[in-house]
Each structure stands twice: as C-alpha cells, then as structure tokens.
Amino acid sequence: MIERHRIARSLVWLLLLVAPFAQSQPDAKKKVSSQADLPRFSYPVTGSASALVQADDATFNGFAAKVRADLDSVFRDYAIDDKSTLRTLLSAKLDLQELAGDYPGALETIETLRALTEKPSAKLITGLFARARLQAAIDVKATHGAAFMAAFKKHYHKAIDPLPWDVVQDSIKGSYASSRLYTKSVAIGDVETELDPAVKKSGALDNTEAWGLISTRNALQNAIQLLPARGEVLKKYIAAHNVVKPDIWAMREVTLTNDQNLSPVLVAIWDSGVDVSTFPDQVFTDPKPTASGTHGLAFDDRGDPSTTWLYPLTAEQQKAYPEFRERIQGRLDIENGIDSPEADALEKTFATLSPDQIHQLFEWEKVLDFYVHGTHCAGIAVRGNAAARLVVARFNDQLPDLPFPPTPEWARHLGAAFQQMSDYFRTRNVRVVNMSWGDEPQEFETWISKTGGGADPAARKKRAAELYAIWRDAVETAIKNAPNTLFVTAAGNSDSDAGFLADVPASLHLPNLIAVGAVNQAGDETSFTSYGDTVVVDADGYNVESYVPGGAKVRLSGTSMASPNVVNLAAKLFALDPSLTPAQVIELIKQGATTSEDGRRHLIDEKRSVALLQTKK
C-alpha cells in the first residue's frame, strides 16, 4: 500500500499496550519468524461493525470474549520475539482490560509495553494517557464526573510536565492535534470506512479488524470523554516549551545548475501518477511514445494501459480537492499551535459532522491522499537538480481499497505491467526510480476480507499467500531486470521490521535497491518509521514541503517523503558522473551519511556524498 499521509485516523494514543501472559511449556511453543507464522482468526458479525461497536455491553462483551480467548491462545502457543508484533498484537489486551475494569492489570500491561519500546520518544510517552485515566479511576472509584476528571488531569500533568521537549515534541504535537480532532463521529465513521465493508462482504471480521473494533470501543467508552482535558494539559506544555528544532537539511543540500556540465538524468516516479504540468521544464518527453503517451507508462486499477498521468478523479472528488488541501494545512497548524482559519475549520468539521458524513469524507480522502502522492514525491526527487527529468510510472497500489476481489489472473496481469515498466526503465536508461509504497501478505488478506472471501481464516491466509507470491516475484523480477537502474523504496510507516512483515519491496535484498527510513527536520527518528536490515539510511520524512497536483505546495509526512530525498541525492550523483553504477551510488550515499550517537540513524548528507565522488574522480 502507498505509504501515504493520513489526516486524522492514525492516532498515537490508540497504540498503548502489552500484557503479561502465562507462558507454560515454553519449549512447546511455535516459533514466529515472520508475520506469516502467526495464526489467523475470524469472527462472525451480524449486521455491521459500526452497529456492534455501539451495542449494549452484553452484546459487545460476547464478541470481546471470543477475541480475548484467541489472544490468550496466541501467547500460550507461540513464541514471539519481534517487539513491533508484540506491540501490535497486544494492543487489544489493554483495551480489553480497561473495558473489563481490570485497572491494576492494565497498569502492569502499560509498564510491560514501555519496556518493549525502543525509539527515544516512544520510551517516554508510551501509555501516559491510558495510565493517567486508569490511575484516576482507581483513585476515585469512578470513570466519570468532576472528581474523575480532576484526578485524571493531576496524573496527566505529573506525567507530561517533566518530559524533555527536545525528545518528545513531535509526538506531543501529534497527540495534541488528535485530542482536538478525534470525536465520537470520527471514531464511528472510521469503522464504517474500514470495517463495515468486510462485514458486508464476508459476514465476519478477521483478527486485525477485530482488534481495531475493540480499540474503538474503548475509545468511545473511556478515552474520548477525556480528550478536551488531555488537550488542555498538552496545550500548556507546548506553550511552555515551544522551541522549534533546528533544520539540518538545508546545510546538507547541494544545488546543481546548468553551468556545471551536467549529464541528463531520468528519474522515474513509480507511484500514483504525476501532474506533469506542475514540472514544465523537468518532464521527460519520449521520442518513442508508449500506449500511454510521451512521458512514461500508466496503468489503470486492473493493470490495463491508461492515457492519464494522474489518477482520475470524479467530478465530486475534484470539487472536494481544495478543501482536502486546507485540511492538511489545518492539521499542521493545530500541531504547531497556530490558530488559523484552516485549523478552526478542520476542528469544526470533525466536531459537527455525523458518522455517515465523516465516513464519506474519509472515502474521499483515501482517493485524494493517493491522488497527490506521486506528484509530492516527484517534487522532492527533482528539487535543486537542473539535469533531472521526470518519467511517470503510474499504477494503483491501494490493494485493500480496490472494489473487485483479487485473483491470480489479476496479479499476473499487473506483474506483466511491472515488467513493461522494467523494460522501459532499462531501454530508456532511467537511472533512478522512486518506490514510495509497499505490500505484504496481510494486505492481501484484508483485501480478500473486504471483497467477500474472508470468513474462513485458513482459506483466506492460503489464498493471500498465493497472491502475494505472484506479486512479490513480479516486483523483484522488475527490479532485477533493470540492473543499471537504482531503485529507492520507503521503509514503511508502521514502526515495524520490514523483513518480519515481508513488505515488498522494502524487505528485498538486491544490489540495485536501497530502503529508506524517516527522520524529522533535526534528524531525530520519527514515531512511524519502519526499520530492518535493508533500511540502511535515513532522510527527512517529517512535514516535508513539495508540490501537489495543481501546483500548490503542502507539507506531508512519511517514509514516502524520505525515499525521494534519497532519490534526489542519487540523481545528483548520476548527473555529476553518469558512469556510476547503482552499487557505487549506494556506497557513496552510505559513506556520506552521518551516524547518530546511538547508532540507530544514518542521515544522508548530499554535500559529503558529492565531496566523496569528487575525491574519487
């Protein structure tokens, strides 16, 4: 799936937990080496997920009991070392404990979770919101009312106020924005968007969908009522410490101009499409047009040739596009404490719309997120490089949102399209390709669930594995068959090991492929960036400014933005020395990167890499 920017649904405070489980007979446990080794479950649902999440306690508790029993069985029968998997798998445990009123047990779970976190900011802030409300419930023996609210604010102030601003500021700002924007309508509207389709088509939820529903239930029951108070505490903390971290990237950047005897460099954006009119002087015009036209190749949702360089919008979606851009700006303004018209409008939107209206908004935003993605990446990739020319390689990677069921025939057909792209890169001498997307077996399972084939967990897993194998082979073969082209991919935004997830292409080990993690403007690790043995460098992926269709500029965050920053450096190296091989460029990028004190980050440095090239020449 495209590693795209999300406006309101990725809420840090929902990812809070881990729990102790009885671990009898450890030698008999099944070893989990990848996501595919984990068991799958299915939960029949009558009606809709959005109705179930609002149902009476007796109805919902019957559903929750089944999920709890399966969670217990996973930890009883499986040996799991991957910390990200533990954090994800066990999220439902804390929600279930809080929903059941097991506050002491939930507090123990939070401490276990905190011990599992590795990123500096996460080690400090994980579980603080949940811990404060649990402590308040224990203090006053209630979960509502003035005394409960006062106790919560006391505990939350005590947790937040001593935090080091230089470490936690990005996470705190994101939590503050969520506190202002996450409402009951947003919670239910998200369920309508993400979970109702699976129930409608398959009559059931899979285990990941069930955990999400339980998390939303806990938010509705316990968390949302406290968000105004939480926002109040965070706002005071931000006001007392709001010093913006210095931006390290401007001093590292190299700008190449036409008077430097540069060689032309073709830079392909393998993505959702590019608004070529936004880059009038930096688009490749092919003297041998393809079926799509003169700027590259484009394929529609089913893998057939298309003549549009941008993903096509309906008239209604096109009309909603300007407001979508304003919502992006509004979210950023809220995070930065700016009382702008866009911030006020966004908060009003989420506070006043019904769940059905929020659902429709989210459906539009899925498409519009995807629509802007490739153009935003393109602007980053060719910034400051007079020799760069853009090549479009468009397809739709939003697999779980495609309306038709996946088939091996579809996978092979799109694989053939990938091979056409690979042939195009090779025959036109495209030197570097940006791939800000990735797919894993779980996404195929979700797609199957949403299109009617998800009721039997064993059959769903087997079918997804077969489709994923075709897909993986197609992507890997496309990269291998263009050996003189450097492919750069995003690590992913799930704070996970790309190898454990089997995320393609980020998990692939190929000599002409490099995966990129995301840091912020100061070079600090973002909360969302994934990692793994293939992720060897990091680049700016936090509030990165670039173009979107129509020529406006917006700031987006994600490893999707970090990847084209590495493409930018690679294209400059190729422009300065076209004889370089992909392996040599990767080595120059790695050698020029600076390693953080803790050894976790390897920050690209264009000036250092260019200087190394000049020294070698």
Which of 208, 241, 274 represents a domain boundary (last residue)? 241
Same domain, yes or no, for 237 and 257?
A: no
- Residue 321: pLDDT above 70? yes
- pLDDT-derived band at 9 (thresholds 50, 70, 90) equals very low
64 domain-assigned: yes
What is the structure's pLDDT at 92? 84
Q: Enter the tokens of residue 514.
A: 């490099």
Same domain, yes or no, for 26 and 88?
A: yes
> What's the rounded Cα separation, in Å, for the pair 518 and 600?
12
CATH code, 568: 3.40.50.200
> What's the rounded Cα separation, in Å, for the pair 66 and 196?
19
Quick one: what percent of the chain has pLDDT higher than 70?
96
Q: Is 539 within 8 Å of 603 (Cβ atoms)? A: yes
What is the structure's pLDDT at 11? 36
Q: Enter the tokens of residue 187.
A: 């919670």
> What's the rounded Cα separation, in Å, for the pair 460 and 35?
15
Same domain, yes or no, for 223 and 290?
A: no
Same domain, yes or no, for 478 and 499?
A: yes
- Residue 409: pLDDT above 50? yes
- Residue 60: pLDDT above 70? yes
Same domain, yes or no, for 62 and 169?
A: yes
Q: Is the peptide bond before 505 cis (omega within 30 degrees of 0)?
A: yes
pLDDT digits (tens, 9 = 90+) for 336-371: 778 889 999 999 999 999 999 999 999 999 999 999
What is the structure's pLDDT at 522? 94
What is the structure's pLDDT at 598? 85
Q: Is 549 within 8 Å of 375 (Cβ atoms)? A: yes
Query: What mean pLDDT is predicted for residues 35-44?
Result: 95
Query: What mean pLDDT is predicted for residues 166-176?
Result: 94
- pLDDT-derived band at 222 (thresholds 50, 70, 90) equals very high
Residue ranges of alpha helices (H) inside 182-243 are: 184-194, 196-202, 207-218, 227-241
> What's the rounded Cα separation, in Å, for the pair 306 and 308?
6
* Neighbouring residues of 470: CB distance < 8 A, sequence distance ≥ 6: 408, 411, 412, 415
Same domain, yes or no, for 300 and 410?
A: yes
What is the structure's pLDDT at 27? 57
Same domain, yes or no, for 178 and 258?
A: no
- pLDDT-derived band at 23 (thresholds 50, 70, 90) equals very low
Q: Enter the tokens of residue 283.
A: 């688009």
Count Cα neighbours of 372 within 13 Å in the Cβ-side half-sphere: 29
What is the structure's pLDDT at 70? 96
Q: Are strands 265-271 and 388-394 parallel, antiparallel or unpaired?
A: parallel
- pLDDT-derived band at 14 (thresholds 50, 70, 90) equals very low
DSSP code per residue over 521-564: TTSPBPSS--B-TTEEEEEE-SSEEEE-TTS-EEEE-SHHHHHH
Same domain, yes or no, for 492 and 541?
A: yes
- pLDDT-derived band at 88 (thresholds 50, 70, 90) equals confident
Prediction pTM value:
0.94
pLDDT digits (tens, 9 = 90+) for 228-244: 999 999 999 999 998 88
The residue behind tokens 């799509």 is 292
276 domain-assigned: yes
326 domain-assigned: no
Average pLDDT, the chain: 93
458 domain-assigned: yes
333 domain-assigned: no
- Residue 19: pLDDT above 50? no
Q: Is 601 within 8 Å of 614 (Cβ atoms)? A: no
The whole domain housing 515 covers 250-312+373-616
Query: What mean pLDDT is predicted for residues 269-279?
Result: 98
Same domain, yes or no, for 214 and 255?
A: no
Q: Are strands 204-206 and 42-44 parallel, antiparallel or unpaired?
A: antiparallel
Same domain, yes or no, for 395 and 301?
A: yes
Residue 194: count of CB within 10 angstroms of its CB: 22
- Residue 3: pLDDT above 60? no
Query: What mean pLDDT is predicted for residues 30-37?
Result: 94
198 domain-assigned: yes
571 domain-assigned: yes
Please report which helix (H) or strand (E) contains residue 270, including its range.
strand 265-271
- Residue 248: pLDDT above 60? yes
Same domain, yes or no, for 219 and 297?
A: no
Same domain, yes or no, for 283 and 415?
A: yes
- Residue 12: pLDDT above 70? no
> What's the rounded Cα separation, in Å, for the pair 424 and 419?
8
- Residue 4: pLDDT above 50? no
What is the structure's pLDDT at 245? 86
Number of domains in the chain: 2
- Residue 592: pLDDT above 70? yes
- Residue 586: pLDDT above 90? yes
Which of 241, 259, 287 represents a domain boundary (last residue)? 241
DSSP code per residue over 295-341: SEEEB-TTS-B-S-SB----HHHHHHHHHHHHHHHHHHHHHTT---H
> What's the rounded Cα separation, in Å, for the pair 587 and 571?
14
Which of 187, 212, 241 represents a domain boundary (last residue)? 241
* Neighbouring residues of 203: CB distance < 8 A, sequence distance ≥ 6: 44, 45, 455
336 domain-assigned: no
What is the structure's pLDDT at 616? 84
